[in-house]
Structure 1
């Protein structure tokens, strides 16, 4: 058992480290791409922004977790993870440009329903995406 653990540990560390780096990159790029500043709003106690960002992050993390279980290599996982990130950005664009043009303003104002809607859409699309991501 110890032999298996020591043999598998480098693979775990490689995938986990790559996944954390991918997640941090995603959160940074997502926060830059949206018109409102999620982290500043969250620091100020804005529940709508927190709900939106958590839902979106889960919508990103679920497909990445599925890909980690099926990827042939770390670079393979990173490529599919980038696809997951792009899809989450597209969810926000679709919601904010086509469904509710003022949703970013509503989140900034603290409208929890708006944050929940965007986060929920991100999570839902992420779950659907995860079911389709079997590299």
Structure 2
């Protein structure tokens, strides 16, 4: 029981660390300021940011389940973060008719929902890829 609790604690704390680091990196690299916008009641920012976090959580959950070591789990957690960031930058290019950051700042909920669902999709796909 002691070894199981120790392993759980190490994996949980490491995954939480990767999750928090990913959250901070996302906040630093996006043009709009998520926490500030969310604090002002901007639902599009909350939807978009929440989707990115859930996408990372999907990948971390799969990495924990399928990893062969703690380092393996961290590496795949970073892969999930990179996939989410790449998706965000690619989506900015694809939606050239409007700026995603501007739409989020204007609380365009349709854009927020789209980003939420796309982030979840990316996270789910990356997480599924970790099973092979």
Bucket of the pairwise TM-score, normalised by the shorter protein = over 0.9
What TM-score, normalized by structure 2, do the two folds share? 0.95
State how many pairs are aligned. Answer: 131
Q: Which residue of 2 aligns with 1:132?
A: 129
Q: Does 1:31 align with 2:54?
A: no
Moved over 3 A (4+): none
Distance 2:10 2:131 in 1: 20
Alignment partner for residue 11 of structure 1, among 7, 12, 16?
A: 7
Q: Which residue of 1 aligns with 2:47?
A: 51
Runs of at least 5 residues in structure 1 that lack an aligned partner in the other structure: none
CA RMSD in angstroms comes to 1.1
Distance 2:25 2:50 in 1: 15
Q: 1:7: how far off? A: 2.1
Q: 1:134: how far off? A: 2.6
Residue-by-residue CA offset, 1:48-94 (whole Å, 9 max, x unaligned)? 00000111111111011011011111111000100000000011001
